[in-house]
Structure 1
Amino acid sequence: MRVPLWGVGWDALELVEGVDERPLIERRAVLRGGFYEMQARTVIERVPVEVGIAQRWGVSPYRGCVHACRGCGARAGHLRLGLDAGRDFDTRVVVRPNVVERLRVELARWEGGELAVGVGGDCYQAAESTYRLMPGVMGALAGAGVPFTVYTRSALVARDAALLVRAGARVAVSIAFVDERIRRVVEPGAPSAQARLELVSALVEAGVECRVLMAPVLPLLSDAADQLAATVRRIAAVGARAVEPVVLRLPRATRAWYVEWLARAHPQLVPRYEELYDGVGLPSRDYERRIVEQIEQLCRVYGMACGAPEPARVRPRVAQLSLV
């Protein structure tokens, strides 16, 4: 039976007609200077185990990343904003301008352990030059006595070396391989391996507790014995004291983007990847164990520690760091 038009109240019609079907990012963000500014409701977020790092919780001033690393495990975050996990993640960076304010509120009742900073998008990518959110983030964390590790590929982190030392922060610089031909294809927006090696040297010289996150090791692309040896050797040469190896993870959103590229560039490798990875995107335990053991052996040769660091202890609360 057809309901006559007058059988529906005008309020209900207005409600139906007023539904905003735009993606969340379009409804809640302000586009300014090429960045999407979006007020965060919560900033301390769970880090999935599949990411492969030691910390279970983290904070990210930026979502998305211009480094455009094909194997980045943070891509799924853009799906929740109504964006795609591929090119949108690489080009539409979301800024959380209220991150410091929200972080202070959440830290007041935080009872967890160490936090990871920058896992949703490099916290020292180009947007940080404009917004300068990291000094405030570090000040809030240090003031609350919460230990943290900054994850980055960007030389901009050296700007805050003195603040990092005063905050007692750890920095993990990602250097998975030193072959520039591979880097140009799978990390097209990231600094060269040489630039990152020089960054490690500069941070160590400045007194920052710095380690290298050798991640992600790419199966059948950057995992040959000579490639691993060359990478560990050059990491040791710049004064790094520790290496943390992580084999490529392929959670669903990352997997779709990565395998699409792999099918174009190296179609013969796709069946092997299908054998190596399980349904949640973790590599075969035997394969991962073999790669990690190779890197551990190389680290022993060059006198470096290998593996995830010991959990940092919560420090006594201190006065707010000066941001000047």
Structure 2
Amino acid sequence: MARSNKPFPKKPVFANPVKDSPYAFTFDETEIKPQAQKGRGAVSNQASTRFERYTSVRVDDGWQHAGSETEEEPRPETQLFLDTSRSIVMRNDSPDIGFSASLNPYRGCEHGCVYCFARPSHAYLGMSPGLDFETKIFHKPNAAELLRAEFARRTYRPESILIGINTDCYQPLERKLEITRSILKVMDEHRHPCSIITKSALILRDLDILAPMAARRLVRVAVTLGTLSADIHRKLEPRAPAPQKRVATMRALSAAGIPVTIMVAPMIPAINDHEVEGLLEAAHDAGVRHAGYTVLRLPWELKQIFEEWLTAHFPDRASHVLSLLRQIYGGKLYDSAWGVRGRGTGPYAQLIGQRFRVACEKLGLNRDDKTLDHSQFRKPSKNPGQMEMFGD
């Protein structure tokens, strides 16, 4: 492993420092190109973070035939870490998103979606936004207690809280840890409105909580689906549920009376953007009546991770995809400006947006109100063991 604070040359040459020696020699050291790993989205951990002074590059020195077809890389195992955050609700004042309060039971996500805009957050933990993000998962076991404490604050005023905006609150670990379920119990107990965004069919486990909340206009669910192609799905989001399973999840949620939105996301030029109409039709047939979309976002280190993924999975069109992204984001791979991120500008971005709007109009999507009710909120009692003077 070689370290440098400058870009590593493609073929660095190392020479014996002893001049005029009969044993002097030179040899080439070639950088090992990372290969896609089964069941993982990111190709490697080689994306350098904005907080690191040095970067690492794996090289083949010729001695052990590193990187040859006969040598297999060990598959990274998922590791669980404790998140000791003292607060649970995060707030933002961004004018281009439809929520101001959110919470995330987990940091990192085992679904391994290569496009996840939350990947760069792992850099704050001194970890890579690449494979580390999907193999080193932080969880908040006391999330429900933190949420109840937030509700009990004297100055607290209820506003809809979005659960799982950064990482999926129903990722595989939730099946055992049940942190999201504990959060929903607190939401239900105090009649607090919330929204959920997920890819997972595991949400159906909690219909016993969600259906009664929906009847009181206290919950809505968004299911993210960006492709109906099994092949693209395996490459983009290897551990997320299959597309047809997500469509079935939308159908089951709708049948239970829960308002469902399909998030057609992310639209990646020349990869899945041709599927806009088909995705909306599949969701509509499943009972969905609301829809949203985003174009691929590549903040910070995600640019390098996505380019690496493109080269590994779509080498024939990688340059074309990147060219279209630059057209969408004004000559750059990403523009974080409000109103531009997730939508883009220019003819290609406008075409995607127009196709989405026309399809929604044709299917009758986004016509009815989906506002949640904030008036039912019940603040936690200061003395939990004491009965309330006035009930419902």
- Residues 127-150 of structure 1 show CA distances to partners (whole Å, capped at 9, x for unaligned) of 111111122211223344432111
Shift of 1:279: 3.8
Shift of 1:246: 1.7
Distance in 2, Cα, partners of 1:262 & 1:49: 30
SS at 2:273 equivalent: coil
Distance in 2, Cα, partners of 1:284 & 1:170: 27
- Structure 2: runs of 5 or more not aligned: 1-51, 53-77, 381-392
* Alignment partner of 1:273 is 2:317: no
Identity fraction in percent: 27
Q: In the alignment, residue 316 of structure 1 is paired with which amino acid?
A: Q
1:195 corresponding residue in structure 2: 245
* Alignment partner of 1:113 is 2:159: yes
C-alpha contact (below 8 Å) 1:299/1:306 kept by paired residues: no
CA-atom RMSD in angstroms = 2.6
- Residues 217-276 of structure 1 show CA distances to partners (whole Å, capped at 9, x for unaligned) of 11221112xx22221211111111111112222221333321222244343222332332
1:180 to 222, 227, 230: 230
Q: In the alignment, residue 293 of structure 1 is paired with which amino acid?
A: Q
Higher Cα Rg, which structure? 2
TM normalised by structure 1 equals 0.80
Higher helix share: 1
- Once the two structures are overlaid, the 10-residue window that deviates more, 143-152 or 130-139, is 143-152
Q: In the alignment, residue 171 of structure 1 is paired with which amino acid?
A: V
Q: In the alignment, residue 299 of structure 2 is paired with which amino acid?
A: P
Distance in 1, Cα, partners of 2:139 & 2:180: 12
Shift of 1:102: 1.0
Q: In the alignment, residue 170 of structure 2 is paired with which amino acid?
A: Y
C-alpha contact (below 8 Å) 1:200/1:239 kept by paired residues: yes
1:237 to 285, 291, 310: 285
1:75 corresponding residue in structure 2: 119
Q: In the alignment, residue 42 of structure 1 is paired with which amino acid?
A: S
C-alpha contact (below 8 Å) 1:100/1:140 kept by paired residues: yes
- Once the two structures are overlaid, the 10-residue window that deviates more, 200-209 or 39-48, is 39-48
Q: 1:108 and 1:119, CA in 2 relative to 1: closer, same or farther beyond 3 A?
A: same
- Residues 157-202 of structure 1 show CA distances to partners (whole Å, capped at 9, x for unaligned) of 0010120122321111111221222111111111111000001111
* Alignment partner of 1:45 is 2:90: yes
* Alignment partner of 1:223 is 2:273: yes
C-alpha contact (below 8 Å) 1:40/1:99 kept by paired residues: no
Shift of 1:319: 8.8
Aligned residues: 285
Q: In the alignment, residue 37 of structure 1 is paired with which amino acid?
A: L
SS at 1:284 equivalent: coil
2:362 to 255, 276, 301: 301
Distance in 1, Cα, partners of 2:290 & 2:229: 20
1:86 corresponding residue in structure 2: 130
Structure with bigger RCO (C-alpha 8 Å, 6+ apart): 1
Matches within 5 A, 1:155-166: 155-166=201-212
1:152 to 198, 213, 234: 198
Q: In the alignment, residue 44 of structure 1 is paired with which amino acid?
A: V
1:99 corresponding residue in structure 2: 143
- Structure 1: runs of 5 or more not aligned: 1-22, 24-32
Distance in 2, Cα, partners of 1:102 & 1:164: 21
The runs of 4+ residues in structure 1 deviating greater than 4 Å are 47-50
